Amino acid sequence: MSDSFTLADLEAIVAARASADAGASYTRSLLDKGVEKCAQKLGEEAVETVIAAVSGDEKALVAETSDLLYHLLVLLKARGVPLADVHAELARRTGQSGLAEKAARQHG
Ligand SMILES: N=c1c2ncn([C@@H]3O[C@H](COP(=O)(O)OP(=O)(O)OP(=O)(O)O)[C@@H](O)[C@H]3O)c2ncn1[C@@H]1O[C@H](COP(=O)(O)O)[C@@H](O)[C@H]1O
């Protein structure tokens, strides 16, 4: 299961739980609080991920990164942005180095 579990699978779970009972689903209860709350939670998880990375605790980094990715998918759901759009943007960026892209932005 864990070997084949993808962010697309988690996106499907988030979508399904969006219509669950708020009393039985953290996802639904968070979505009910709106985009601002979802964004705030993502920010908190980002900070916790940074702290875990700097601390050198690999287990904590995996756990915090999991929280971060879950909350990112909830925020995308709250704004109606499909993960496929993110995949498409990432795919569009392949073939160009990040440094080349940055230089094009600065001199373009
Ligand atoms: N991956 C996750 C996941 N990661 C983190 N979390 C929850 O995110 C919350 C974040 O922790 P915090 O301590 O910041 O939360 P908190 O203090 O309770 O929250 P606030 O009071 O600040 O809002 C915890 O309640 C975690 O359980 C998740 N909740 C759900 N999922 C996935 O979503 C599925 C459906 O969950 P439900 O929607 O709850 O059924 C689960 O089976 C998982 O696959």
Among protein residues, the one with the nearest Cα to ligand 1's atom 22 is 41
What residues have CB less than 8 Å from 12, skipping those under 6 apart? none
Does residue 62 have a pLDDT over 80? yes
Counting the structural domains of the chain, the total is 1
What residue type is assigned to position 69 of the chain? L
Give me the domain span that covers residue 42. 7-81
Confidence of residue 108 (pLDDT cuts 50, 70, 90): low
In short, whether 48's Cβ falls inside 6 Å of ligand 1 is no
Percentage of the chain lying above the pLDDT 90 cut:
84
Does the structure show a pLDDT above 80 at 1? no
Is 100 part of any domain?
no
Under 8 Å between Cβ of 18 and 30 = no
pLDDT given at position 5: 97
pLDDT band at residue 107 using 50, 70 and 90 as cut-offs: confident
Q: For ligand 1, say whether the CB of 65 is within 6 Å of any of its atoms.
A: no
Q: What is the dihedral of CA 25, 28, 29, 32, to 10 degrees?
A: -170
Which token pair is 6?
């993808």
On whether residue 61 sits in a domain, the answer given is yes
